Amino acid sequence: MNECIVKVEELCVQFGDFFAVKNVSFDVNKGEIFGFLGANGAGKTTTIRVLCGLLNPTSGTVLIDNIELIKGKENLIKQKVGYMSQRFTLYDGISIEENMDFAASLRHLDPEDYITQRNNLLDFIDFKEDLSTIVKDLPGGIKQEIALCVALIHNPMIVFLDEPTAGVAPAARFRFWKLIKELSNRGKTVFVTTHYMDEAENCGRIALMRSGELIALDSPQNLKTKTFTKQLYNLNPKNSNYKFQDTSYFELLEPYGQHYHAIFKDENLTNSSSLLKDFDIEKINPSLEDVFIRLVEGQNR
């Protein structure tokens, strides 16, 4: 049976009159990789800051491991959560070791426990460098792996990773996601935001945010089948300069690189000679990118 580790009910965060988070409710299960997706400004970071006890919500209830997050009592949950923030992860001008020492001192870790935990974490990321390396001299991917270790230094049961792979090279992103999966295998709950849809495929469930509201929450596969109840097609123009004069055939038509992804109003139109003259047409399965474009970006146009 699923064990709920994060429970959010009717969460609202207002800045003045503006709702950055509006009536958001969801549960996260223990050991789950929970993806939090949405366009820039959708309210992802704001929600995470509340769940980590760093920002007081305007209203709503948050429970972390069955403990209610109450203003002034944030410390009750702080040892349960780790946080890798979006903009700031490590101090660039000091060494890896100094960053880790500093994080451990902020958490008041017992020195022996800290060294054991540090060694475990460095083994976990298969760290081969020198601990005295200054952070700014590290490749981006390694820096983010060290930042993950820092977020896990007090062995929290849940870790919030806010765009941990933004700007990281593809091979290093892949490595980072192997770590995320291993954390989940070991029973940790990972709450992660990303703008990379290929990464989001690795999540057990995905919450989609739009303008502060939660608009969908499901597994990647269910999001695809529920969003696309009709067959999706890829239209590959035979002439790369092709411009659509008439889009009346389509229920949906989205540019996709040089191609188009389309849903036809009538399936028989896929055999239309006027279209086949200009396009190669094939049936495709929707990707999470298709889901995201349809649910999030399509609505903002």
CA neighbor of 223 nearest in space, from 284, 159, 293, 298: 293
Distances from the Cα of 87 to the Cαs of 45, 90, 292, in angstroms?
10, 10, 24
When asked if residue 273 is in the footprint of ligand ATP (CB under 6 A), the reply is: no
Looking at the Cβ atoms of 45 and 287, the one nearer to ligand ATP is 45
When asked if residue 194 is in the footprint of Mg ion (CB under 5 A), the reply is: no
HSE-CB of 74 using CA atoms within 13 angstroms = 12
When asked if residue 227 is in the footprint of Mg ion (CB under 5 A), the reply is: no
Looking at the Cβ atoms of 55 and 131, the one nearer to ligand ATP is 55
Q: What is the DSSP string of 211-249?
A: TTEEEEEE-HHHHHHHH--S-EEEEEESSTT---S--TT
Q: Which residues pair with 232 in a beta bridge?
A: 284
Residue 155 interacting partner from Mg ion, ligand ATP, none (CB closer than 5 to 8 Å by kind): none
Looking at the Cβ atoms of 110 and 297, the one nearer to Mg ion is 297
Judge contact between 205 and 36, C-beta under 8 A: no
Q: Which of residues 147-206 bind ligand ATP (CB under 6 A)?
A: none
Looking at the Cβ atoms of 86 and 211, the one nearer to Mg ion is 86
Which of 8, 33, 45, 152 binds Mg ion (CB under 5 A)? It is 45
Sign of CA dihedral 180, 184, 185, 186: positive
Q: Which of residues 72-91 bind Mg ion (CB under 5 A)?
A: 86
How close are the terminal C-alpha atoms of the chain, in Å?
41
Which of 38, 53, 60, 141 binds ligand ATP (CB under 6 A)? It is 38
Looking at the Cβ atoms of 216 and 232, the one nearer to ligand ATP is 216
| Interatomic CA distance for residues 223 and 199, integer angstroms | 15
Please state the φ and ψ torsions of residue 126, each to the nearest 5 degrees: 55, 50
Q: What is the DSSP string of 54-65?
A: SS--SEEEEEET
CB-based contacts of 106, cutoff 8 Å, min separation 6: none
CB-based contacts of 107, cutoff 8 Å, min separation 6: 79, 153, 154
Which of 1, 40, 66, 245 binds ligand ATP (CB under 6 A)? It is 40
When asked if residue 165 is in the footprint of Mg ion (CB under 5 A), the reply is: no
Judge contact between 13 and 43, C-beta under 8 A: yes
Judge contact between 93 and 135, C-beta under 8 A: yes
Looking at the Cβ atoms of 55 and 76, the one nearer to ligand ATP is 55
Q: Which of residues 10-29 bind ligand ATP (CB under 6 A)?
A: 15, 20
Residue 38 interacting partner from Mg ion, ligand ATP, none (CB closer than 5 to 8 Å by kind): ligand ATP
Minimum CB separation of residue 202 from ligand ATP in Å reads 19
Residue 165 interacting partner from Mg ion, ligand ATP, none (CB closer than 5 to 8 Å by kind): none
Residue 42 interacting partner from ligand ATP, Mg ion, none (CB closer than 5 to 8 Å by kind): ligand ATP
Q: Which of residues 25-44 bind Mg ion (CB under 5 A)?
A: 44
When asked if residue 300 is in the footprint of ligand ATP (CB under 6 A), the reply is: no
Sites of contact with ligand ATP (CB under 6 A): 15, 20, 38, 40-46, 86
Sites of contact with Mg ion (CB under 5 A): 44-45, 86
